[in-house]
Structure 1
Amino acid sequence: MAQFVVQLRFDVSETDRRLEVRPAHREYLASLREAGKLVAAGPFTDGTGALLVYDVADEAELRDILAKDPYTPADVYEIATLAEWQTLFPFS
């Protein structure tokens, strides 16, 4: 397994659309958390984006997960960062 950090940058011109889709997005994230694929996630307090940490087999699995996120077809974000992450101090 590998951990990846994904930073999303929200399209501020699509805030209304993003908020409309957000309940489905959060349900999807909850299912990933239950499946052990999502370690942590949350939006930035200024509303410009979010940070997510995934525990997946590889980048291909992560990209498949991202493709299935309801935010993706709504086209309300761009990926600012997608990088494999080495945990130094794990979450408890």
Structure 2
Amino acid sequence: MNFFAVHYSYADGAEAVVALRPEHREFLKGLKDEGKLVASGPYTDGGGSALILIRLPESATVADAEELMNQDPFHRDRVLDDRTIRAWNPVLNIFPED
């Protein structure tokens, strides 16, 4: 499996983010149900950013991760200030394999 770290930046409490959050969480639930979501959640410093960890097949690239995450309502409706997706190598992997 290949892992990808997806960093979102957005205005904490922004009306558009709050309005889309239920749909965004349904999108993430779908990824979880498909076995693609490893973890997700906001940073706790109040800065309005979040981290999403996804896993895709061994052949997957950053472009594949971008294509998948383009379906997120937060990206689709352009409420993010920034999004960065990077390949990630969990050298000490604590996440269970399916």
> Partner amino acid for 2:31?
L
Question: What amino acid maps onto 1:89 in structure 2?
Answer: L
Aligned residue number for residue 25 of structure 2: 26
Structure having the higher strand fraction is 1
Indicate if the aligned counterparts of 2:20 and 2:74 stay in contact, CA closer than 8 A: yes
Higher helix share: 1
Structure 1 gap segments, 5+ residues each:
none
Aligned residue identity for 2:75:
T
The alignment yields a C-alpha RMSD, in angstroms, of: 1.7
TM-score computed with the length of structure 2 as normaliser: 0.82
C-alpha distance after superposition, 1:37-63 (max 9, x if no partner): 111100112151100111012222211
Share of identical aligned residues, percent?
Answer: 32
Residue 38 of structure 2 is aligned to residue 39 of structure 1: yes
**Residue 86 of structure 2 corresponds to residue 83 of structure 1:** yes
SS in 2 for 1:68: coil
Distance 2:68 2:53 in 1: 12
- Report how many aligned residue pairs link the two structures: 90
C-alpha separation between the residues in 1 aligned to 2:88 and 2:53? 9
TM-score by length of 1: 0.86
Q: What stretches of structure 1 move > 3 A for 4+ residues in a row?
A: none
CA contact (8 A) 1:39 1:54 kept: yes
